Amino acid sequence: MYNDKESQKIVDIIQNFARKHSLFVLAYGTGCGAIEIPPTMTSRYDAERFGIRGAATPRQADVLLITGYLATKTLKRVIRVYEQMQDPKYVMGFGSCAINGGMYWDSYNTINMLDKYIPVDVYINGCMPRPEAVIAGFVKLQKLIQEGKADGWDRYKKNLDEYRANQKKIITNWVMPDFNR
């Protein structure tokens, strides 16, 4: 019954409903975007009403927020955190730095395109995005989850070699625990 396609669909709908309304957020507070998370969570914007709450460790988290530029050194940690998260998992990139490097585009130690290294489901633009924008991003993510389109985790697994190649271009000394596919 579980393998049956029709019932699988129903199960998926239920599961996606739960997933979308229960987003445990791991904010990777790089750059200036980290300061936008507290107002998003507290009483003025209250993201908890969408079922969004903070998670302290990657093992429990569903959404990884990259809140700003990523230094090459930080990228290694972000990859680590991302790989420690359990499927299904989603990534949100904050602001122009995550999108194209922003004002650090020509720095020798800041990466420019986050989605070349880990799959990003939603980008929020702005420098920095305000909490409203963040919430809009979450809503977008919820929509994608319900539709089953937020499949970054799946893409990452499928194209792992490609991602790895990009990552290894920056992280020359690759000592990381294995990633369970």
Partner 1 sequence: MSSLVILILIIAGFALLSYFGHSINKTAGNIAVFAAAVLIPLYWFTRVDFSETVSFTISGFQMELGYNMYGKLFSLIVMILSPLALIYALGYMKDSKRTGTFYFSFLFSILGMTGILMSRDFISLFIFWEIMTWSSYLLVIFLGKDVEKTGIRYMVFSALGAYAMFMAIVIIHRNTGSMMLNDYFNAFGNFSTGTKFLTGILLMFGFALKSAVMPVHVWAPGAYSNTPMAYTSVFSGALSKMGVYGLGFVVINLFAHANLHFAGTILAWLGAVTAVLATFSAIFQDDAKKLLAYSSIAQLGYIVTGIGIGTELSIFAGLYLAVLHAAFKGVLFMAAGAVERQAGSTDMTEVTGLIRKMPLTFFASLVAIIALAGVPPLGGFVGKWMLYESLINNGNFLMVIMIFLSSTAAFLYSYKFLFGLFLGQEEPEFENVKEASPLMTIPMLLLSVFLMITGSFPGIVFKYIAEGMTDLGFHDVNWQMSVLTNAWGDSVNLQHVTLSIGVVFVVFLIFLTWKGYKKTYYVSTKDISSSGEVIKPEDNMTYSTDFYKPFERVLHPILKRKIEKYYDEFGEGIGALFDFMRRIYTGNGQTYAFYVIVFLVILLVFSKNIFGY
Partner 2 sequence: MSENILHNEQKLLNLLEKKFLLKESRIIRAKRVEVKVEPKEVIPVLLYAKENSGYIHFAHMSCVDWIEDGEFEVVYILWHPEEKINLFVKTRVPRDNGSLPNIDFIWRQANTYEREIREMFGLRFEGLEGRKEFILEDWNNIPPMRRDFDTEAYVKEVFFHRLGREDAKDVREKIQERTDEELPDFAKKYSRD
Partner 3 sequence: MEGIGYKILGALLTTLLAFTVGMFYAGFRRKIIARIQNRVGPPVYQNFLDVLKLLSKKTSVNHGIMQHLAPLWLITMSVSTLMFIPVLKDGLFFTNLNFSGDLIFLLYIMVFGPLGMALGAGQTGNPNSAIGVSRGLTQMVGFEIPWIMAIVALMIQYKTTSVTGLLDIQSQNGTWMMFSSPLAFIAALLAMPGMFRYAPFDIVGAPAELASGPISEFGGKYLSTMMTSGSIFAFVKLTLYVDLFMGGASNLIELVIKTFALYMYPVLWGAVSPRFRTEQAVRYFWGWPLFFGFAALIYAAF
Smallest separation (angstroms) from partner 2 to the CB of 166 = 8
Q: Out of 111, 134, 141, 144, name the contact with partner 2 by CB under 8 A.
A: 111
Residue numbers 84-123 binding partner 1 by CB under 8 A: 84, 87
Smallest separation (angstroms) from partner 3 to the CB of 30 = 17
Residue 83 and residue 179 in contact, taking contact as beta carbons nearer than 8 Å: yes
Q: Which residue, 14 or 103, has its beta carbon nearer to partner 3?
A: 14
Q: Out of 76, 101, 145, 167, name the contact with partner 1 by CB under 8 A.
A: 76
Q: Can you spell out the DSSP letters for 99-152?
A: HH-GGGTT-TTB-S-GGGTS--SEEE-SSSPPHHHHHHHHHHHHHHHHHT---H
Helix axes 72-84, 160-170, angle to 10 degrees: 150
Residue type, 17: F
Smallest separation (angstroms) from partner 2 to the CB of 160 = 18
Reported residue count of the chain is 181
Gap between the Cα atoms of 25 and 90, Å rounded: 9
79 binds partner 2 (CB under 8 A): no
Edge-to-edge strands of the sheet including 90-94? 52-54, 23-28, 63-66, 90-94, 122-124
142 binds partner 2 (CB under 8 A): no
* Eight-state DSSP code of residue 66: E
Q: Which one of 67-75, 86-94, 113-121, 168-176 is the stretch in contact with partner 3 (CB under 8 A)?
A: 86-94
For 31, other C-beta atoms within 10 Å of its C-beta total 22
Q: Out of 28, 104, 117, 163, name the contact with partner 1 by CB under 8 A.
A: 28
* Residues at the interface with partner 2 (CB under 8 A): 72-73, 76, 99-101, 105-109, 111-113, 116, 166, 169-173
Residues binding partner 1 (CB under 8 A): 28, 57-59, 76-81, 84, 87, 175-177, 180
| Interacting residues with partner 3 (CB under 8 A) | 14-15, 17-19, 21-22, 24, 42-43, 46, 48-51, 53-57, 59-62, 84-88, 180
